Amino acid sequence: MLLLGSVSCKERAKMAADTPSTKSLLDKILNAPTEEQYREALRQYGPVLAQDIDYLAQQSQSEQPTIRRHAARLLVTTLKGGALRVLRARVADTTDPQVFIIALSGLSHEPDATTLAQSRPQLLAAALADDDPLVLTAAIQIAGQAALPGIHELLARLLQHPSEAVRSAAVEAIAKVGVGPLEAQLKSVLQGATPSSTYPFVVLYRLLSNSDDSSMAAVFADSLKGISVSREADFFNGIQHSRKPWLRALLLELARGESRNRSAAFVTLTDWPDADTQRELVRSCLQRLEAAPPASSPERRHYLVELEPCRRYLGMRAGRNPFSWEEYDAALATAQQLFLATALPARADDPR
C-alpha cells in the first residue's frame, strides 16, 4: 500500500527520463538537515531505484558532509544498479570516516567484510570516536566483526555510553568477540535495564547465562519483574542452552511458583537431561495434581486445563500422548509411579 504523500516506484520510473525531477526528489533527502526530516523525505520518496545509483554515487563524493553521508545511507538500502560496487569504491577512496563506516556496513555480509574492515584502520578508529550514535553503532558492529586488537577495552568504554543504542551495539559486538573481562559490566547493564529498555535481551541473557557466578540468579530474577511477555520470551530463548546449576535452581523456583512464567520455566527444564532435574519436574507435577480442587468444584476443570505442561510432560514420560484434563486419575498415577521410581531418601536438611 502506498503511503499518503509518497511517490510510487512506477511513477518514479516514468520520471526517469525527466532527470531534474528525480534529482529534485533525491536532493530533498540528501539535504535533509535533521534525522527526522531525512526519514520523512525518504518515506515520501520510497525505495531507491536502479536509475538512482549513478546520481547517488556522485553525491557520495560531494563536498558537503551531510550530502555524501545521506547518499551513502541510501546506497546501503539497495542491491540494485551496482550499489555494492559503489559502496566498495567509497570504502576504498573516501577520506570521510562517516561515509567509510556507512558504506562498510552495507558490505557486512560480503565474504571479504572482515578484510575490508581492517583495510583502513585510521578511518575505523575515527568512526569509533564519532559523536553520532548512528555512525558509532555501525562502527561498533564492524569492529566486533573484525575482532580488532583491544576490542574488549573499547567495548568496556562503550558499555558506559549515554546512548542505549550504542550500549546495545556493544552488547551485540561482545556476542561476536566473547565476554572476556566484561561479565561484570554486562551484569550491570542488565541490572540497570528498565521495562522500556530496548537492549538485545536474547543476546544479553545468553551471554550471562554461561556465567559461573551464582549471584547471577538473583540478577536474572530481578530482571523478570514487571516486564513484557516479549521480554520474558527473550529470557527463555537466551538461556535455553545453558546448564549452569544456579540457572537450574532459578528455573525450578519459577516453575514451582505462581507467576506468569512458571509454565515456560517448566517447559524449559524438560530439556535438561539430568536425573535430578527430571525428578524435580515429576515432584512438581505430583504436587500440583494432588492440590487439584475436588471433582465437585466448578474450578476443577480450569485448574486441570492450566496444568497442560505437566499433562504433556507426564504423557511423554509414559510414552504416550499428553494426558487430557479428564484423565486426572491416570496422570496422577503416572506421576506417583515416576516419583517413587526415582525418589531418593530425603535429607535431614531438606525443607521439602
Burial of 65 by CB count in 10 Å (0-12 exposed, 13-18 middle, 19+ buried)?
exposed
State CA 104 to chain mean position distance.
22
Higher pLDDT, 1 or 23: 23
Domain ranges of the chain: 1-105
Q: Are 86 and 77 in contact (CB under 8 A)?
A: no
Cα 185 from Cα 197, distance rounded (Å):
17
Segment 320-346 shows an average pLDDT of 89
| Residue range 171-192, pLDDT digits in tens | 999 999 999 999 999 999 999 9
Model confidence at 344: pLDDT above 90? no
Global pTM reads 0.79
Segment 85-111 shows an average pLDDT of 96
Q: Are 167 and 158 in contact (CB under 8 A)?
A: yes
Model confidence at 6: pLDDT above 70? no
pLDDT of the residue at 9: 54
Model confidence at 347: pLDDT above 90? no
User: Could you identify the residue written with the cell 553521508?
Assistant: 69
Q: Which residues contact 96 (CB under 8 A, 6 or more apart)?
A: 65, 68, 69
Segment 290-313 shows an average pLDDT of 96
Burial of 11 by CB count in 10 Å (0-12 exposed, 13-18 middle, 19+ buried)?
exposed
Q: Are 29 and 41 in contact (CB under 8 A)?
A: yes
pLDDT of the residue at 23: 84
Model confidence at 12: pLDDT above 60? no
pLDDT of the residue at 267: 97
pLDDT of the residue at 149: 82
Cβ–Cβ contacts within 10 Å for residue 60, how many? 26
Burial of 208 by CB count in 10 Å (0-12 exposed, 13-18 middle, 19+ buried)?
buried
| Choice among 13-22, 213-222, 335-344 with the minimum mean pLDDT | 13-22
| Residue range 247-272, pLDDT digits in tens | 999 999 999 999 999 999 999 999 99
